[in-house]
Amino acid sequence: MKKTIILLLMVCIFIPLQAQISVTKRDVVCKTNFGNQKLIYAEKDSIGAFALSLASNNKYHGNVIVGLGDKEKALVTLKSMYEYENKDGDVIELNNPTNNNATYERVLGTWMFVIYAEHSDKIYGYLAKRQIKKMITALEEYPKQE
């Protein structure tokens, strides 16, 4: 009886663990600002998406993740941010999968996008236009042919 219970317990533990395993591909397409801003490509079950990972103002929060969708949607979002006219303090809805908002502000003498975490107005990351331009260039070349 004891062996049966142990065997049943082992089966109940290992079957859910095997269901969690799946093949995931993750590439860093572009790093800017000493790795504080990254453009990331992640693929799971042959479905791929791009996202921005920005260093957060809150050291306990980690990074602000900005979902961009597939390559075409990511290019549209990044290009619209790059071509944005300078209007201080306007709230910009990025219309992306993670529903992020941004403002365009002067930070430490430089105009930057302040991108807020999903459903938060206290946790944010910074992204300058020159960094967006580098990300657009890297995204247009992705995947690199060798």
User: Looking at residue 129, which CATH number applies to its domain?
Assistant: 3.30.2450
Asked if residue 125 belongs to a domain, the reply is yes
Counting Cα atoms < 13 Å in the Cβ hemisphere of 134 gives 15
Asked if residue 55 belongs to a domain, the reply is yes
Identify residue 134 by its one-letter amino acid code.
K
Closest by CA to 29, choosing from 74, 94, 80, 84, is: 74
Q: Contact at 8 Å (CB) between 17 and 86? A: no
Asked if residue 73 belongs to a domain, the reply is yes
Longest dimension (CA), the chain: 74
Which tokens is 134 given? Answer: 């580098």
Q: How confident is the model at residue 46 (pLDDT cuts 50, 70, 90)?
A: confident
As for how many domains the chain has, the answer is 1
pLDDT tens digit sequence for 57-72: 888 888 888 999 999 9
Which tokens is 45 given? Answer: 């079950």
Asked if residue 16 belongs to a domain, the reply is no
Asked if residue 9 belongs to a domain, the reply is no
Q: Containing domain of residue 61, as a range? A: 22-141
Asked if residue 28 belongs to a domain, the reply is yes
Beta strand pairing call for 24-32 and 91-93: unpaired
10-19, 40-49, 128-137 — most confident range: 128-137
Asked if residue 107 belongs to a domain, the reply is yes
Asked if residue 83 belongs to a domain, the reply is yes
Counting Cα atoms < 13 Å in the Cβ hemisphere of 38 gives 16
